[in-house]
Structure 1
Amino acid sequence: MFLLPFPLDCCEGLNNVDYSQVDLSIMRLAADYVDLTDPRLGVAALCIALNPLFWNLVARWEHRSRSLTRVFGSPYVACYCLGAVIMLLNFLRSHCFMEAMKSQPRLKLLDSLVGYSIGVAFAAVGTVLMVSSFLALGFVGTFLGDYFGILMEVKVTCFPFNVSDNPMYWGSTIIYFGWSIMHASLAGVLLTAVVALCYMIALRYEGPFTEEIYRQKASKHL
C-alpha cells in the first residue's frame, strides 16, 4: 500500500470537470480574438505555405534539369538569383503576417509592457539563430546551393548547428512567435503555428533529399 501525495478528493474533482465547457471557453476566446472571415488572415496563411513549396519545387527542378544554371550560365549566379527571389517572398510573407495581425483584436492578457518585453526577447533569440546560421553557411549554403551542385566540403557543426539541425527555420518561427507576443495577437500565434507546420513538412522532404545529394557525392569519390 502507498500514500498519494495529494488527497483523493482532488481526483474526484477532476473527474467531475465538464470538459465540454472548457472547449467552449477556448472556442469563445478564439472567436473573440480571431476573425476567420478576414481575408488578410487567409492571404498570410497562403504566403506562409507558398514559400517552402516554391523553393523546394524550384530547387528540385534545378537539381534534376540544371535549367537555371544553363539560363544564367553559372550555378552560382543561378543560386544567387533564386536566393534573391526567396528573400523577396520572405519579405512578402512577413508583410502579410504583420498586416493580418494588425487587423485582428489584441489579446488583453498579453497587451502589456511585460508581454511586449517577452515578445522582444523571443524575437531576439530567433534573430540570433537566423543571423548566425547565415554567417555559418554563407549565402550559397543558406539558399540551397547544394541543389545547384555547389556542395560544402564538410558539414557545419559550429553554433547554431550545435544547438539545432535547422536553426534558420526554427529561428524564423521564433521570430514570428515573438512578433505575435509583441502585438498581443492570438491570430499571430495561430499563423506562427502554420509557419512551424509548413517547416516541419518541408524538412521531411528536404532532409532526406539533401542527404542523398551528399551520399552520391561521397560514392563518386570512393
Structure 2
Amino acid sequence: MSASAAVPDCCGGLGNIDYKKADLCVMARLLGYVDPLDPSFVAATLAIAFNPLFWNVVARWEQKTHKLSKAFGSPHLACYTLGGAILLLNFLRSHCFTQAMLSQPQMEILDNPMAYSAGLVLLGMGSVFVLSSFFALGFTGTFLGDYFGILKEARVTTFPFNFLDNPMYWGSTANYLGWAIMNASPTGLLLTAVVALVYMLALQFEEPFTAEIYRQKALQAHKRS
C-alpha cells in the first residue's frame, strides 16, 4: 500500500493524505473540540495530576518518618486514613472529569451506538481489573500498606496480576477511556491520555520501591531459614 490514498481528510471530503501525518491530523481535529482554558478542564487536569503526587509524597514521608503511624497510634489505622483520603480524592477527580466532558462539545464520529457499546465494554473490563485487584490486594495492599510496613508474605501474582502489570492503574485508565467514548467526548479522550501519562510517571517511583521492599523481605526470610 502506498503512503498516500484517497481517504477523508481532516477538513472533510476526500483528498490524498500522507499517512505519516494522519496522527497529527487526528490530534489537531481532536484538540479543535477542546478548550484547555475552560475552568472545568483545568480543574480536571489538576485533580488528575495531584492525586498520585499526593499519595506518593505522603507515603514516602510516612515510610521515612512513621509520623502518621505515631499520630494515629498504629500503622493500620494510619493506612486506613490515607486510603480514605485517596478514595475521596478519586471521587473528586472523577467528578471533575465528568464536568469537563459535559462542559465541552461532543465529537460526532463517536456519537453512535457502536462507539457507545465499545465504551461500555471498556468500562466493564476496567471495572473487572480494578475490583479484582482490590480483592487480591486487600485494603492495605491497595492503599500503600507497604509504606507503613504492612506487607504480605509475597507479592501478589494471582489474577489479575498474572494477566497484566499494575491492573489497578490500567483498569482505572480503561474506565476513563470507556466513559469518554460513551459520552462521545474528545475532552474525555484527552483527559484519559493525561491519566495514563500521570500513572506511568507514578509507576517510575512506585515500582522500584515495591520491588526492593519485597526483595529485602525475601532476603531476610532466606537468612532466617
Q: TM-score, normalised by structure 1?
A: 0.89
Structure having the higher strand fraction is 2
After superposition, give the CA deviation of every residue in 1:83-102 in whole Å (9 maximum; x if it has no partner): 00000000000000000000
Give the match for residue 86 of structure 1.
Answer: 86
After superposition, give the CA deviation of every residue in 1:18-69 in whole Å (9 maximum; x if it has no partner): 6898688546523541122211111101100001100000001000000000
Q: 2:4 & 2:173 partners in 1: Cα distance?
A: 40
The count of residues paired between Structure 1 and Structure 2 equals 213
> Aligned pair in 2 of structure 1 residues 37, 141: CA closer, same or farther (>3 Å)?
same
Give the match for residue 112 of structure 1.
Answer: 112
Report deviation, 1:219: 3.3
Give the match for residue 178 of structure 1.
Answer: 178
After superposition, give the CA deviation of every residue in 1:101-153 in whole Å (9 maximum; x if it has no partner): 00110000011122211111100000000000000010010001010000110
Taking the TM superposition and a 5 Å limit, the aligned residue runs for 1:65-144 are 65-144=65-144
1:70 maps to a residue whose letter is: K
Give the match for residue 48 of structure 2.
Answer: 48
Which one is further off, 78-87 or 113-122? 113-122
Q: TM-score, normalised by structure 2?
A: 0.87
Report deviation, 1:80: 0.3
Question: Is it true that 1:199 corresponds to 2:195 in the alignment?
Answer: no
Q: Percent identity?
A: 58
Q: 2:149 & 2:114 partners in 1: Cα distance?
A: 48
Segments of 5+ residues of structure 2 without an aligned counterpart are 7-15
Q: 2:160 & 2:23 partners in 1: Cα distance?
A: 39
Report deviation, 1:156: 1.2
Question: Is it true that 1:163 corresponds to 2:147 in the alignment?
Answer: no
Q: 2:21 & 2:215 partners in 1: Cα distance?
A: 54
Per the alignment, in what secondary structure is the counterpart of residue 122 of structure 1?
helix
Report deviation, 1:165: 1.6
Segments of 5+ residues of structure 1 without an aligned counterpart are 1-5
Q: 1:115 & 1:17 partners in 2: Cα distance?
A: 25
Give the match for residue 3 of structure 1.
Answer: none
1:66 maps to a residue whose letter is: H
Which one is further off, 71-80 or 205-214? 205-214
> Aligned pair in 2 of structure 1 residues 136, 25: CA closer, same or farther (>3 Å)?
closer
Q: Which of structures 1 and 2 has the bigger CA Rg?
A: 1
Which one is further off, 35-44 or 200-209? 35-44
Q: 2:192 & 2:25 partners in 1: Cα distance?
A: 22
CA RMSD of aligned residues (A): 2.2
Q: 1:118 & 1:19 partners in 2: Cα distance?
A: 25
